[in-house]
Each structure stands twice: as structure tokens, then as C-alpha cells.
Structure 1
Amino acid sequence: MMLLEGKVALVTGAGQGVGQGIALALAAEGARVAVTGRTLEKLETTCALIHERGGEAYPVHCQVKSLASLEECVESVVAHFGGLQILVNNAQEVPLGTLQDVTDEAFTAGFESGPLATMRMMKLCYPHLKGDGCIVNLASAAAKRWDMSGYGAYAATKEGIRSLTRAAACEWGGDGIRTNVIMPHATSPGLKWWVENRPEEAAEFVASIPQRRIGDCEEDIGRFVALLCSSGSAYVNGQTIALDGGQAFIG
């Protein structure tokens, strides 16, 4: 029997990168997956990959910075699949740059698409997740970097997500909802751009990973998320888990 047979999952930002890898891995374990994001063409590509493997997927256009769009998304998914047991908050705009360079607009977008969207989605999905639900939020080890230069604004939005995750775990654990956060290093389009544009920094970064490689979106990140959402992880709640080959020390 597959780990997530009979479950329905909603993954934001699933048109590419880590979100796509998570969607593919959840579907491979039997979950029916709502693939959501801003670009319908990318969502349909992810759904096609799932269908080719014999899985079931449903594309839903969604703007995570819009409460109305999030409401419509959740309503559409529940109506289509008849329920919801897994929520993965992955989508996020990234406000990179030094404190002097990051604009108010970029930081606000990072906040609206990050902690605010995460909180909204958790609250919207809460009634459907009660009893046997699992939430996985995405943060970043950026806040654990040895040199925070250029990553402060991004890390601030991600640390907000970690705090919301811990609160949800404590407040909703008794309702049968587990909430955890992962901090992944993966070969996403954004990371590939970073490697190409900051090769020296990227080389130092990889050298600091004990396993000396960056994770695969599906094999290293997605498959762990599938395990985290399964009954085998039923007592894991409120945790921050780094999927980074041993680089970060959370403390």
C-alpha cells in the first residue's frame, strides 16, 4: 500500500522547482494532488507528469497574495476532490539583496506571499484538515547563514513562517492537525539562477554542505515530505527540519 493512498494534497507554487518535486512525490505515494500556482501552463505541465505516472492531479490557478484567490482555490480543491488532508505552503516571492537595496515593495511582496499567505491558507484549510490533517510549510536556512549579508529580508519572511508553524502545531495538535516546517536546499530554478550569477559564492556554499551536493527537488525534498505526511510520522509536530545535507545547525 502506498503511504498516502486516499489522501488529498494541496501544494502551492507547484508549477516548477521544489513545489513540483513535492507534488510529484506525493502523487507517487497515492495522494490526489491539487497543483496550484500563478502560471496555468506550468501547472498543467506538472499535472501531465503526474498523469503519465498513473496519478491524479488537478491544476488550480492561484495568486497567494490575494485572499480572495486563496479562498477560491481551497473551495475549488475541496469541491473537486471532496476533501483535503495535506497542505504544503511552498509559493513565495523572494526579497533578496542588502538591507539598503531591498525596496519596501519587494519586502512587502515577500511578506504577503510568505507568512501572510501561509497563515491565510492554514486558516482556510483548517476546517478540512481537522481530524487527520498535515501541514508542511517551507522556510529557509538563510537565517542560519554564517554571513547574513544580502539575506536579511528574505530570512525575516521565512522566520515568520517558522513562528506561525510552531503556533499552529501547538494550537491545532489537539484537533488532529500536525504542522511542521522544512528548510530545503534543492536544484530549483531560483537556485540555478543563483549558481549561474554568483558562482564563487555558490561554490563556497556547496563546499559547506557535508554531503557536498544540493538536493533534488523530488528525490530528496519531495519524498521526505511524503514521509512526513504519512502515518509513519504521526508523532512529528511543530518541528523545523533542515533538508540540506547536514549544513545548517538549527540549535
Structure 2
Amino acid sequence: MGTLDGKVAFITGAGQGVGQGIAFALAREGAAVAVTGRTESKLVETVEHIRGFGGTAEPITCDISDTEQITAAVEKTVEAFGGVDVLVNNASLNPLGPVLDLTPDLMMKAYQSGPVASFHAMQTVYPIMKQRGGGSIVNMVSSAAVRWDMSGYGGYASAKEALRSLTRAAAAEWGADGIRVNAVAPHALSPGLKWWTENRPDEAAEFIKSIPLGRIGDCEEDIGRAIVWIVGDDARYLTGATIPLDGGQARWS
């Protein structure tokens, strides 16, 4: 028996990296998982792996920058599994670069794929979760806003901080409906972080030195397993929080 038997999870950006690790972890605990993302081949590979260890999952193509596609993906999830109990807003476009190099178009894309997409997904699953007696939402954010040096991270951090604020507001407003909303700030060896370590090796080396546990987290074992706890009944009194899964690096006030 898994701790999430009978639960249905909807995860964005689940075809690779952190989202995939979360999908694997939740499926191993018995959740039926809607594996969503833009690239169908990656979704199919993820689902095949889940089915290979006896889990239940369906691939659902969805570009989160299009709110209509988010709505359709949630509807497909309900058709396939009967509802949604867990929402993980993981996918987003993350703009990096000095403030003067950012463009309004890039910033709009970051916000549309980040806080706006997450906001729409949250609104879409809310009546479903309420009807089912509650649920758990996890918004993936970042410790970029509390870096020792934020140079080059202004656009990325601002979008993630907007999502943190939305998380706290929804937690306060939806608690009476049994819906918990939390944010998680991970460090994990995702494709994006792998690219960063390869293209900015000196900065990455200093970054890893600043992690007390001395390593970057594993997408499934370190991040996914923690999400299992956060969305499960053992964390039923946890809401409105930001949980740093970063090996102790970030200094959150």
C-alpha cells in the first residue's frame, strides 16, 4: 500500500528533470499521475517508465503558456482518473541575464508561463478539489531571490517571488475548503541546472561549495520524495509555507 493510493496528481513539466522526478516519486506511492508538458515524446517515455514499475500514468500534452491548453489538460485528467487531488506547478520559462539585457517580451513570457499559468491551473483545479473534500497544491519556486548576489537573476527571481505570494494568498483563502497550498524551492540536477553548471563552471563550483550538504539534489530521491510527504496526510497541517529543498544553502528570513 502506498501513502498516495487513490490520489490523482497533475504535474506540469513532468517529461524531464524535477517534474519527472516528482512524477516518479508520486507514482511509486500509488498516485495516478497526469504527466503533462510540451514534448509528447518525453511524456511518453516518462509514462512508460512509470508503467514499467507498476505505476499508473497518462501523457497529456500541454503548453502552459496557453491557458486554454491548461484547462483542456485538467479536463483530460478528470476524464482519465476521475478528479485531481494534487497539483504540482513545476514548468516555467526562466529568464536569466542582467536587468538591462531583459526585454518586455521575455519578462511577459516568464510571467505567463510562471505565476499566470500556475494561477490558472490553481483556479481550474479548485472546484474539483473542493468537491472531493480537499487537496494539495505545490508551486515550485526558487531561492534566487535570496542569493548572496542576485546579479543576472532579477527576471527569474521576480517571477518566482510572484508565485510565492500567490501561494500564501491561496493557502489563506482555501484552507477552509481543505486545500493546502505550499511552495518548494529546490536545487536538483535538472536539465536547466546541468546546462548552467556546464556553461558557468566557475560560478557552479562556488555554488556547490555553498551547499552545506555538499551536493546538488536528485530529482526523484531528494525532491520527489519530499513532495510525497508535503502532499500526503502526514503534512496535513502544513500550508502557506515555502520549503527550501536545497541542502541548507539559502538563507530564508
Distance in 2 separating the partners of 1:16 and 1:103: 27
- One-letter code of the match for 1:85? D
Identity %: 57
Distance in 2 separating the partners of 1:179 and 1:214: 25
Q: Deviations over 1:91-146 (max 9, x none)?
A: 00111111011122211111000000010000000011112200000000000101
Residue 20 in structure 1 maps to residue 20 in structure 2:
yes
SS in 1 for 2:6: coil
Q: Which residue of 2 aligns with 1:249?
A: 251
Distance in 1 separating the partners of 2:235 and 2:39: 33
Query: Which of 135, 149, 152 is matched with 1:147 structurally?
Result: 149
Residue 120 in structure 1 maps to residue 115 in structure 2:
no
Q: Which residue of 1 aligns with 2:178?
A: 176
Q: Deviations over 1:27-55 (max 9, x none)?
A: 00000000000000000011011001100
Distance in 1 separating the partners of 2:177 and 2:159: 27
Q: Deviations over 1:152-192 (max 9, x none)?
A: 11000000000000001000000010000000000000000
Query: Which of 188, 191, 200 is matched with 1:189 structurally?
Result: 191
Distance in 1 separating the partners of 2:49 and 2:81: 19
Q: Which residue of 1 aligns with 2:213?
A: 211
Distance in 1 separating the partners of 2:50 and 2:66: 27
SS in 2 for 1:236: coil
Query: Which of 217, 226, 229 is matched with 1:227 structurally?
Result: 229
Q: Which residue of 2 aligns with 1:31?
A: 31
TM-superposed CA distance for 1:87, in Å, is 0.2
Distance in 2 separating the partners of 1:53 and 1:181: 28
TM-score (norm 1): 0.99
SS in 2 for 1:241: strand
Larger mean Cα displacement after TM superposition, 5-14 or 104-113: 104-113
Distance in 2 separating the partners of 1:83 and 1:158: 27
Q: Which residue of 1 aligns with 2:2?
A: 2
Distance in 1 separating the partners of 2:210 and 2:224: 23
Distance in 1 separating the partners of 2:87 and 2:56: 16
Q: Which residue of 1 aligns with 2:138?
A: 136
Q: Which residue of 2 aligns with 1:157?
A: 159
**How many matched pairs?**
251
Spell out structure 1 runs of 4+ moving beyond 2 A: none
TM-superposed CA distance for 1:2, in Å, is 1.0
Structure 2 unpaired stretches of 5+: none
Which runs of structure 2 are paired with 1:52-67 in the superposition (5 Å)?
52-67=52-67
Distance in 1 separating the partners of 2:182 and 2:236: 11
Distance in 2 separating the partners of 1:231 and 1:73: 26
Residue 74 in structure 1 maps to residue 74 in structure 2:
yes
Q: Which residue of 2 aligns with 1:84?
A: 84
TM-score (norm 2): 0.98
Distance in 2 separating the partners of 1:72 and 1:93: 21
Distance in 2 separating the partners of 1:107 and 1:21: 27
Distance in 2 separating the partners of 1:108 and 1:168: 22
